[in-house]
Amino acid sequence: LQWVQMNLGNAYCLRQGDPLENLTAAIECYKNSLKVCKQDADRTKWADVHINMGQAYYRRGMLGHPGSADDIELAIECNKNALKVYNDENKYPLRWAGLQSALGVCYSDRQMENRAENLELSINYLEQALRVRKEKYPYDSAITLKTLGIVYHQRKRGNRLANLRQGIDYLDQALEVFTIEKYTVDWAETQGNLGALYKNLAISLQHNAEYYQKKAIPCLKETQRVFKPETNPKRWARTQFELGTCYKNLGVFAKENPEENLAKAIEYYQSALPYTSRESNPFGWAEITNSLGNAYQHNGQYQEAIKCFEDTLKLHTRKYFSIDYIKTRYNLGNTYVKFNKLTAAFNSYQEAIDTLETDLLYQLGTDDDAKRKLGEEWFQLYSSMVEVCLKLGKENTENSEYYATAWEYVEKSKTRRLVELFGQKKPDGVSDEIWKHYKDLRNSIANEQKRIEDQEESKSTVFPQEESKFTVFPQEESKFTVFSAIKIERIKQIERTQLNKLKANLENLLGGNPKLKSLDKIQYTPFKDIEKHLTDDHTVIIQWYISVQKFCAFIYTRQSSQPYVWESSPQDFDNLQEWYQEYFVNYISDFSAWSNKLSKRIERLSEILHIDELLNYLPPKCQQVILIPHRYLHLLPIHALPIKTETWQKFNPNSAPNQENYLFECFTKGVRYAPSCQTLLMLEKRSRPNFNQLFAMGNPTEDRAFTALCVETIETFWKQKYPQSETKVLCGEQATKNSLVHELKDYLKNSHTFLYSGHGSFEFESPLDSGLILHENKRLQLTEIFGLNLEQCRLVTLIGCETGMTDWTSITDEYIGLPSAFLWAGVSGIVSSLWTVEEKASVFLGIKLYQNLLAQSEGEKNVIQALREAQNWLRNVTKSKLWDWIEDQDLPLADVEEGLEQFLQQFSDSDKPFSSPYYWAAFCVIGK
């Protein structure tokens, strides 16, 4: 009976007709077989039934019926049961590797749990299978390579381009075995997969996209030599679908003969539908229908597009296919926008975002890397929602609540990780120590995953085809390639070992503290409730947002129930793009020319951002402005933009204007920055009234005497102000990494201000490797700063180069840089720099800053005001007044006097040596 039921099940699996019906019958047969065949009696037969049943469950799960997610889970269970028997790779190499491969396939299509982690598990299983198969089983090895190519195509971890290129490499290796003569079907399937990867590589690339799109089409057409609609209807239809997408992309993204290519795309999609059954393959049918709707939309056939999307949503439901549901909702929203049905578009986008945040992001729990990837993948959804809100706000001038809604979606689209880490509430019954350990582990894991991704990105810049103009001798190339491959593989192994250790530590912590597994969802503060947290009537927030074809500024005042919104013209947007590209290219390639042109550059930036126009909307009694930039705007000295005289006089009617006026000096309480409004509101809760414990490090590399002058002078000021206070000032060889991180960590923990005066560095290619340079050139990296405890610290001051820079390439504005690390460590405010600063000017500014702070009354210090006064002083001080000040403060110039005199001798006594913004504008306050 067992043998009969087993073979009957196999027959149902091979039977033509309705696959859902046949596979269901097959599964029943396998279940009947297991009623007779027991594990204890005949272990291998019992395992073989599970292998076949796992295959049937998997195939049924891939049909896309309502219970498909459960089928994949059952397939995994069947294969794991079989692996209990075939658990020795030496005794059962084929069976063991086959089960590893089957599990890899199942996890790649698993719908439950964490999608990113499922794909990593899939890769691990497949690599285990490949390890056994590659020596003795070339065909099975090629099958595994083909599957790995597909999984890397789908992979969520790591760099997207690197994953696609790795996938292409695996498929190319598979094609070395699969020839059309010997393995016809496998050859055709691999060609189709290769075409799909080239298609997606084209979408991901900013350059050469058309080249790879056209490379995809021949691969896909090759499959048509094998797959015919009469003999292989399902595979033929899949090829038609992929070809349709290629032609759609050529028309939409490459802008090549749009009308002709969109017509081809529609024709391919339409030809695929009759060979894809809505009843037996609902997922595939809906996928094609969704893409057909997209082609209709781009072709201006909006009603046809809407019909396609509505049909798709009947099958791609939120419950069973949340990602595809979001895609279709997004496409439907885009169509409604073009059809000028803005309310319908708003509703569709809103449903898509709610699904993303509730069903996907929240369910990812502690997986911050997967959350970041999802945020990047769906950044455009938030951007589209913001634009619809702004359009609706213009249409509904009497009820402009849409502007507040736009603000709220801007906030949700950025700095998500920082907001979650700051805003997560400690569960009852969890100690402070465990809570900090939990947050540090989450942070370390996310940082390590981002670091690996950054390194993958730097190694995957171009394909060999793009390098063909350069000639390399074969011998040299092969040596270099082998050396690099070995070195890179070793680095990757070390990194992944470290990452796995961190993940294991987190799992152990969660296992012992189950309350950490079900933390409350972060609640974003609605626009209307901001006034409850910012109670100052004279403080204004200006928040920028860079969209696809424009940028806008939101202005919050406590007196208004809605933000005022200013929108740029398309020309302004183009001007800003051109300006910042020139700014950063010049900064990296020719710093001397960059610094000489800085004044003119920021004048132009002031015009592009329409700063005077924006300030016109601020109330005249405004005393402080909080700037919330977006993306690369975080790296620009917006606080130091020049403004017109009449703008300055609006806020200072009783004072005479200067010859040159800047934004930061308009307001008596100054200008400060914040990563986002949500982080700002969280920072406002940090009360740091004490300011008498100083921890300072100066000239750690012993090659910058002025930086030692900075901390020594401030130490003198400090002892005069707080004679009972125990200061810690480490200069030169004392300023070691070990002292900061280990020996004096308890003193650092209780410090109220941390002052660093020395070398800083921002790593553009790998921001997480940015840091402060300590003695013996040991770097205190950003990732290590995250682990410091600075919860008593009111102020961190970083007198060094590039200490305020953040990762401007992040489209989700994750704000990765030294400021975020110090904020995470517990600091409420940071003074840091936006470029490579001039040593003497920076030291004088730092000394003056602390002189101003110590002159303030006791209580929580106003860092913003102190910096404002220091910058005003530095840019206006004459040469003679500077010498007077140095003498009055009795600065110890012995080691630096000669260099200072050489610098100042080019100026007359009445000249202002530091008047250029280059000398003073780099420094700004971030936080409180």
pLDDT of residue 892: 87
Partner residues linked to 817 by β-bridges: 806
Residue 858 makes CB contacts below 8 A (sequence gap 6+) with 691
pLDDT of residue 458: 54
pLDDT in tens, 261-291: 999 999 999 999 999 989 888 999 999 999 9
Distances, alpha carbon 415 to alpha carbons 62, 436, 584, 678, in Å: 36, 20, 23, 9
pLDDT of residue 469: 25
pLDDT in tens, 556-581: 998 888 999 999 999 999 999 999 99
Q: Identify the sign of the CA torsion 897, 900, 905, 909.
A: negative
Residue 91 makes CB contacts below 8 A (sequence gap 6+) with none
DSSP count for the chain of H helices, then E strands: 39, 16
Helices of type H across 750-831: 782-785, 818-825
Length, in residues, of the chain: 928
pLDDT in tens, 28-50: 999 999 888 877 778 899 999 99
- CA 248/CA 265 separation, integer angstroms: 5
- CA 688/CA 605 separation, integer angstroms: 35
Strands, E assignment, 774-913: 779-781, 795-799, 829-833
∠ CA(815), CA(817), CA(821), 5° rounding?
95
Candidates 561, 555, 554; CA nearest to 526 is: 561
pLDDT of residue 399: 66
pLDDT of residue 578: 96
pLDDT in tens, 393-451: 998 877 679 999 999 999 999 888 888 877 778 888 889 889 888 888 888 888 888 87
Distances, alpha carbon 96 to alpha carbons 86, 125, 128, 198, in Å: 6, 11, 10, 33
Distances, alpha carbon 264 to alpha carbons 26, 224, 268, 309, in Å: 40, 16, 6, 20
pLDDT of residue 461: 41
- CA 209/CA 657 separation, integer angstroms: 53
Q: Within 13 A of 171's CA, how many CA atoms are on the CB side?
A: 25
**pTM of the model as a whole:** 0.86
- CA 210/CA 258 separation, integer angstroms: 13
- CA 451/CA 453 separation, integer angstroms: 5
Q: Which pair of tokens denotes residue 679? A: 């982080």
- CA 189/CA 397 separation, integer angstroms: 56
pLDDT of residue 454: 74
Q: Fill in the DSSP letter of residue 837.
A: -
pLDDT of residue 449: 82
- CA 400/CA 416 separation, integer angstroms: 26
- CA 474/CA 482 separation, integer angstroms: 12
Positions in the chain short of pLDDT 70: 1-2, 206-208, 399, 456-495
